[in-house]
């Protein structure tokens, strides 16, 4: 019997190494990794610049803590700022931690700028923002919250892409933030409607509410843009990142406009590991690659080709959706059966 807790339903395969888009198991099997570690290894496995950066940094210093200046953190923050909206960053270790920090920033905003009157965060049904207590609270899915209720009272949920419900829910009295993914990953690669997003942005501007966009999955080139908000011609006030940010080295980040970022002062939030030199070295190598000439264009081209291929080769009952290389297939088959059959294919 394993000494591990049983909180994962795992497939019966174990990988020993990876190279580019392939994973290899301990029985000589070779697999196409379409899951990329749940949208993490966007540059593929054993990507030389990341491997080199991690190896070299590991030989210098892996960790020092945020009690001291970390030069690589500053370099990385500068690069992400330049690639996004002018802002400041906080580094952590995962998507849930990034969203947890964003929620704390929103609460600080409500407590300071709106003098404690505003504390509610509106999020979307079928969203996924993480499994810590606060992030589970904004994740409006019964199956995720089951067994852990009651959730914190500041959560308010609306149907995704429903403008009427949005207008009904927003209140000058208590709404401090609206939080959403631009493609609901767990919700079935469901894209946001542009009109819905524009209305959220308009309401947030008009009523001084923070717009938090969770780009944990959609960010870092997945959709063919560096960040998915670029597809819609709007900017969030806060964006959360993780997954592909360091191609597999655990890291998360909160990117915020000055009006929210300035609320994190010494002692308000922190992380022992967040943005340590090892993670930053990997993340800088990732950023440099994704900012190189033609990278995002290649994602768009590959995404188009893959979508065409899937549309032409899957049964008609399958619906192919998504943007760039964030692609989902709605099938009439049970997902578990699809994965189990795919695992039997050897390349």
Report the nearest approach of ligand PLP to the CB of residue 7 (Å). 12
Q: Which of 107, 129, 222, 307 binds ligand PLP (CB under 6 A)?
A: 129
Give the residue from 334, 332, 330 showing the smallest Cα distance to 321. 330
User: Using the rule CB under 6 A, is 99 a contact of ligand PLP?
Assistant: yes
Report the nearest approach of ligand PLP to the CB of residue 60 (Å). 26
User: Using the rule CB under 6 A, is 322 a contact of ligand PLP?
Assistant: no
Q: Which of 18, 185, 221, 248 binds ligand PLP (CB under 6 A)?
A: 185
User: Using the rule CB under 6 A, is 38 a contact of ligand PLP?
Assistant: yes
Q: Which of 42, 73, 84, 94 binds ligand PLP (CB under 6 A)?
A: 94
Listed in order, strand segments (DSSP E) in the chain are 15-19, 22-25, 30-32, 88-92, 120-124, 155-158, 175-180, 183-184, 190-191, 210-214, 238-241, 252-256, 319-323, 326-330
- Is residue 328 classed exposed, middle or buried when 0-12, 13-18 and 19+ CB atoms within 10 A define those classes? middle
Phi, psi at 190, each rounded to 5°: -95, 115
Report the nearest approach of ligand PLP to the CB of residue 218 (Å). 7
Piece of the chain touching ligand PLP by CB under 6 A; list 187-195, 214-222, 313-321, 330-338 = 214-222
Report the nearest approach of ligand PLP to the CB of residue 56 (Å). 26
User: Using the rule CB under 6 A, is 181 a contact of ligand PLP?
Assistant: yes
Q: Which of 36, 72, 95, 303 binds ligand PLP (CB under 6 A)?
A: 95
For the chain, first and last CA: distance in Å?
32
Q: Which of 128, 154, 157, 264 binds ligand PLP (CB under 6 A)?
A: 128
Q: Can you say whether the dihedral through the CA atoms of 310, 311, 317, 322 is positive or negative? A: positive
Alpha helices in 119-169 (DSSP H): 133-138, 142-145, 163-169
Query: How many beta carbons lie within 10 A of that of residue 38, not counting itself?
Result: 12
- The footprint of ligand PLP (CB under 6 A) covers 38, 94-96, 99, 128-130, 181, 185, 214, 216-217, 242
């Amino acid at each position: 019997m394993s000494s591990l807790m049983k909180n994962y339903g795992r497939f019966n395969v174990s990988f020993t190494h990876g190279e580019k888009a392939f994973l290899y198991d301990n029985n000589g099997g070779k697999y196409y990794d379409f899951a990329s570690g749940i949208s993490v290894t966007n540059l593929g496995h054993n990507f030389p610049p990341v491997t080199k950066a991690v190896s070299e940094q590991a030989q210098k210093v892996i960790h020092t803590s945020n009690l001291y200046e970390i030069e690589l953190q500053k370099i990385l923050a500068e690069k992400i700022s330049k690639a996004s909206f002018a802002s400041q960053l906080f580094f952590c270790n995962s998507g849930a931690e990034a969203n947890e920090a964003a929620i704390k920033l929103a609460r600080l905003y409500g407590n300071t700028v709106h003098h404690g009157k505003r504390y509610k965060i509106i999020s979307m049904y079928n969203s996924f923002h993480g499994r810590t207590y606060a992030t589970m609270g904004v994740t409006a899915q019964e199956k995720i919250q089951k067994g852990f209720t009651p959730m914190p009272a500041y959560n308010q949920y609306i149907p995704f892409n429903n403008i009427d419900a949005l207008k009904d829910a927003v209140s000058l009295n208590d709404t401090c933030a609206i939080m959403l993914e631009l493609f609901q990953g767990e919700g079935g690669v469901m894209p946001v409607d542009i009109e819905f997003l524009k209305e959220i942005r308009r309401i947030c501007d008009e009523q001084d509410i923070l717009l938090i966009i969770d780009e944990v999955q959609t960010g870092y080139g997945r959709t063919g843009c560096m960040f998915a908000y670029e597809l819609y011609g709007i900017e969030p006030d806060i964006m959360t990142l993780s997954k592909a940010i360091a191609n597999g080295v655990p890291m998360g980040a909160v990117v915020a406009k000055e009006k929210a970022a300035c609320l994190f002062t010494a002692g308000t939030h922190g992380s022992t590991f967040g943005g340590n030199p090892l993670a930053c070295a990997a993340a800088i190598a990732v950023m440099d690659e994704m900012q190189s000439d033609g990278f995002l264009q290649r994602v768009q081209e590959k995404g188009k080709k893959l979508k065409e291929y899937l549309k032409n080769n899957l049964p008609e009952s399958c619906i192919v959706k998504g943007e760039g290389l964030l692609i989902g297939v709605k099938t009439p088959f049970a997902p578990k059966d699809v994965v189990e059959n795919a695992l039997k294919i050897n390349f």
